Structure formats: structure tokens, C-alpha cells
A and B are shown apart, each in its own frame.
Chain A
Amino acid sequence: AQKITQTQPGMFVQEKEAVTLDCTYDTSDQSYGLFWYKQPSSGEMIFLIYQGSYDEQNATEGRYSLNFQKARKSANLVISASQLGDSAMYFCAMRVGYSTLTFGKGTMLLVSP
């Protein structure tokens, strides 16, 4: 069975600073995908970034990057130059093969001015 662990229930960061949200995963499969989603207070789930298990480079999407450390089974999300609009719940998720997503419990990020 797959498991995603997000150990930080909440994080605070000041505007313009970088922040790292932690995610560790557990699977015995060699082929899997790791995702990060953002859920603002309005409720929608917004896809941010994807990393495949065979991708050699860390994924980047604008201010988001995924620090993928396969041996440690970690897939941390790094947000550079935080903005007030980044305040939201962030979920790490994993998909093994063609199966569905397994989500972590999420980390609430608050960005202060």
C-alpha cells in the first residue's frame, strides 16, 4: 500500500522568503508519480507540479520546484519568493502505475506581509 506523510501541520513564512513543505512517501513500486496540489480557502484543488520516479531532474514550474530525493523517499515542495496569495493548504500526493492518487494530510501555509 502507498502512504504519503506530511509532518508539518502548519508553516509560517514572510512575504518574499522561500519556504519548503515536506513530503515523504512509501511505496515498493519502482514506477510512480508525485504531485503537489494547492487548496486555497475557496476550496478548489489546484495542480502545481509533477515529478516522475524516473525523472532525473527536479521538476520546476515557475516559483515552484520539487526537491526529489529518491533514496530518502522525499518529494519536498519549495516555493520561492512567497506571495500573500500562496496562503493555502498544500497536499502532496502519489500515484503508482495507473492507480489513483493517495494524498497526505496536508500542510497549511500562511504568508505574512
Chain B
Amino acid sequence: DSGVTQTPKHLITATGQRVTLRCSPRSGDLSVYWYQQSLDQGLQFLIQYYNGEERAKGNILERFSAQQFPDLHSELNLSSLELGDSALYFCASARLGGETQYFGPGTRLLVL
């Protein structure tokens, strides 16, 4: 158990819908990262937050957004969902920004 929690574990929804994925980092970790894992794209970095502020952006679509709250948990919002958004979404956390990232169990999203 990495200490990073993600909810929900599984999510099934329809195209055009909006979902929110939630992540709680390890106790004391200030950095939260979101990754998407799909069969065709592999593991791709989406976005990073550090202590509530956006720190880095990767291949995140405009339909996706995220935020980190004062209690350091983070949410990833996916809207206008398409079939191709079906993937495993990971949250990871690190103490500051340059250390080992510990991953949560992931949220498996299926868009029908």
C-alpha cells in the first residue's frame, strides 16, 4: 500500500458525460501528479500540482482540468468524454517535487 488513495476504483459512463476522479496523497506529500495509461499511448503525464498551485502540464486535453485543494487532495475533471478517454488514470504523490513518486491504485474509466 503506497498510502495514496484514489476513488472511485472503476467508473463506467457514456460519451459526452463528465466525471470527477479524486486523489488523496500520502501524508506530508505536497506534490500531486496525474497520469493516463492507455494501450495505444502508454503512460502519459497529464498535470502536476504542488501545494495547491499548478506546477507542470503535460499532454492534458482542454476538456480535462484538475485542481488541488487546501487539504492537498486533488481532483481530475474529465468532460465531454469520448470513447478514446477510456483508460487507467493514476494519481501519484511526492514529498516536494523532485523525489520518488508513489502511485495510487488508479481509477479505471470506461466510456461507452
Which residues of A pack against B, CB within 8 Å? Answer: 33, 35, 37, 43-47, 50, 91, 95, 97-103, 105-106
Contacts and interface: CB of A to CB of B under 8 A. Distances in A.
A27 B108 CA distance: 32
Given A43-B108, A45-B90, A105-B42, A100 B56 contact: yes
A100 B105 contact: no
A43 B45 contact: no
Given A44-B103, A106-B42, 6 more contacts: A43-B88, A44-B104, A45-B106, A99-B56, A101-B101, A102-B45
A95 B98 contact: yes
Given A43-B106, A47-B102, A100 B42 contact: no
A60 B97 CA distance: 23
Contacts of B48: 100
A98 B90 contact: no
Contacts of B56: 99-100
Contacts of B92: 45
A72 B103 CA distance: 29
Nearest to B57: A100
B11 to A, nearest CB: 14
A45 B103 contact: yes
Contacts of B105: 43-44
A105 B40 CA distance: 10
Contact of A97 (B58, B88, B98, B108): B98
Contacts of A101: 33, 45, 101
Interface string B79-102: 000000000101010000110111
Contact of B103 (A47, A50, A98, A106): A47
Contacts of A35: 100-101
